[in-house]
Chains A and B, each alone.
Chain A
Amino acid sequence: MSAKSNTITVANENSSNDFGLEKGLKTAIVTAIDSLTVNTDEYLALNKYEVDEANAHIELIDNPSEEEFLKLVRVCPAALYKIDAEGKQSFDYAGCLECGTCRIACGDTIIAKWENPQPTMGIIYRYG
């Protein structure tokens, strides 16, 4: 996996700690998540994967709600769900750790499909 720059750089350190969801989406994203100092992609680059370029084993519904998507931003240990400063969402299954957390968090809302990767594909832990 190539290390990409982290796109969740949303921050407004002076904003209140309350969620601003009702204040409109833009504000919500800006206040909902602190600025990040970690680039998880660099860690994922240390892992061993057999990436299946042809098949996405996890798929989202079209136009997922901002509120649900933000849950995934917070819980995915691989930081694969991202929202940039403009509020644009992205998801990349390639670094998936196959933990299933997104399935449990949003399986009946915005996760449309969660399957095990195709034979021999996906994460290969060398330590575990």
Chain B
Amino acid sequence: MADFDAIVVGSGCAGAVAAHELASAQKNTLVIERGERNGAKNMSGGRLYTHSLAAVFPEYKTEAPLERRIAHERLSFITDDACTTVDFSSGQMLVPNSDSYSVLRAEFDEWLSSKAESAGAEYINGIAVEGLLKDDSGRVIGVRAGDDEISADIVILADGVNSLLSKEAVGFKAPLPSTMAVGIKQVIELPEAVISDRLLSQDGDGAAWLFVGDATHGHIGGGFMYTNRASISLGLVATISDLFTAKRPIYQMLEDLKAHSAVAPLIKGGKVVEHSGHMVPEGGLKMMPPLTADGVMLAGESAMMCINLGYMVRGMDYAIAAGMHAGRAAAAALNKGDTSAAGLADYQKALEDSFVLQDLRQFSGFPHFMESTTRLFKEYPQMLSDVMNTLFVVDGRPVAPLKKSLKPIVKQVGLINMLKDVRGGIKAL
């Protein structure tokens, strides 16, 4: 008999939830997390759409360490000295379970894991799983961590974007640098009231703000800002392969963004308390590995379940939902006594029926659109700035007819190119 019914590798969003579901179904479950505390190794931009959390923990609103409800959506196109912003807020964004909150992962993951633990999951912390145990037929039958070999009827890999195990589990080769982005972030402390004032937010509410253009000095990617209760998360996400030709390293880009006239006043007087880095998968459905093999399943970013649309990064809600479905499917397979790939087929089906794989399918053309529409990051922010300057700058010279002033601006990119890009964008979304 195996040591455990199930072993979950990693206690991030997907792992903790999978373990919670298994333990709640009375399965003897072990979680192995390499961080000494759960969350110690994890970083995200920090905005959690709550719908998938609500499906597992209806009580989350009063229990989870949520920072601020996001009540303002801002998207800015920036050049070195200009910033054109769309600022959106709506009642619909605030409807419970259609809303979203900023989170800080150290605290959030600790809470998630406490839910799994109270449901009965056992934890080993501070040790990384180094390899998988397989039987002669190639079926996964456990894990190797340090000198220990621990067996289980099912192993769930929820070890995140930098999984060193997915190759052994399902033959997934390390992804290409063109399908992955690097994220860099600083947490900048500021008094709670100052943040509310600067972001025009009510108590407890805050903003999400994305910056396209000069944030990455024209490279593919963008800047992000999320308000936490008493700090601001500020960072950048940029496609790794595209940075290979950048004049400035990513950390200098972040420093430049902090000094940009649109950002500097937001963080003025703030104190950097942490500097972090983490990757974001952005290849979408096309880069996804198989989700199961005999005795093993993948949930969350170990299976590249993430979308980066430029104006939105989503991965946590996918990971939570995938963790839920993985845990439930694993429990059902254990009940049937069949944890082969065939016995786990319901997992794939549950994800196909849910927003997880439907969204990833919906956006499967988007990575290509971003990659091939580099004008988004250079020409369009500049064009917007030129148009706005034409509209708003008054210097006493006679004003030319708008049509005449706009013509040379639009001509730089070309009307046809613009139409092509708009069409491409709409198609990809």
Which of A36, A100, A120 is the most central at the interface, judged by chain B CB atoms within 10 Å of its CB? A100
Contact of B120 with A by CB under 8 A: no
Q: Compute how far the CA of A55 lies from the CA of B182 in the bound complex, rounded to whole angstroms.
A: 25
Q: Compute how far the CA of A115 lies from the CA of B129 in the bound complex, rounded to whole angstroms.
A: 11
Q: Which of A57-72 contact B (CB under 8 A)?
A: 71
Q: Which residues of B contact A50 (CB under 8 A)?
A: 36
B277 & A127 in contact (Cβ 8 Å cutoff): no
Asked if A17 meets B105 with Cβ closer than 8 Å, knowing A37-B252, A101-B240, A103-B162, the reply is no
Q: CB-CB contacts of B106-144 with A at 8 A, as 1s and 0s? A: 111100000000000000001110100000000000000
Q: Which residues of B contact A19 (CB under 8 A)?
A: 245
B250 & A124 in contact (Cβ 8 Å cutoff): no
**Count of chain A to chain B residue pairs whose CB atoms are closer than 8 Å in the complex:** 156
Contact of A78 with B by CB under 8 A: yes
* Closest Cβ–Cβ distance, residue A49 to chain B (whole Å): 11
Q: Which residues of B contact A105 (CB under 8 A)?
A: 177, 240-241, 244
- B106 interface neighbour in A34, A100, A115, A126, Cβ under 8 Å: A126
Q: Compute how far the CA of A59 lies from the CA of B40 in the bound complex, rounded to whole angstroms.
A: 23
B161 & A100 in contact (Cβ 8 Å cutoff): yes
Q: Which residues of A contact B176 (CB under 8 A)?
A: 104
Tell me the nearest residue of chain A to B244, going by C-beta. A71
A97 & B278 in contact (Cβ 8 Å cutoff): yes
Contact of A89 with B by CB under 8 A: no
Contact of B349 with A by CB under 8 A: no
Q: Compute how far the CA of A78 lies from the CA of B251 in the bound complex, rounded to whole angstroms.
A: 7
Q: CB-CB contacts of B3-28 with A at 8 A, as 1s and 0s? A: 00000000000000000000000000
Q: Which of A22-49 contact B (CB under 8 A)?
A: 32-34, 36-38, 40, 43-44, 46-47
B247 & A77 in contact (Cβ 8 Å cutoff): no
Binds A, one of B86-94, B183-191, B351-359: B183-191
- B278 interface neighbour in A99, A107, A115, A127, Cβ under 8 Å: A99
A128 & B248 in contact (Cβ 8 Å cutoff): no
* Closest Cβ–Cβ distance, residue A100 to chain B (whole Å): 3
Q: Which residues of A contact B250 (CB under 8 A)?
A: 74-77
Tell me the nearest residue of chain B to A97, going by C-beta. B277
A104 & B252 in contact (Cβ 8 Å cutoff): no
Binds A, one of B200-208, B268-276, B317-325: B268-276
Contact of A116 with B by CB under 8 A: yes
Tell me the nearest residue of chain A to B35, going by C-beta. A124
Tell me the nearest residue of chain A to B235, going by C-beta. A77
* Closest Cβ–Cβ distance, residue A109 to chain B (whole Å): 11
Contact of B84 with A by CB under 8 A: no
- A125 interface neighbour in B39, B128, B130, B184, Cβ under 8 Å: B39
Q: Compute how far the CA of A103 lies from the CA of B163 in the bound complex, rounded to whole angstroms.
A: 11
Contact of B243 with A by CB under 8 A: yes
B41 & A123 in contact (Cβ 8 Å cutoff): yes
* Closest Cβ–Cβ distance, residue B403 to chain A (whole Å): 34
B177 & A46 in contact (Cβ 8 Å cutoff): no
Q: Which of B205-225 contact A (CB under 8 A)?
A: none
Tell me the nearest residue of chain A to B186, going by C-beta. A43
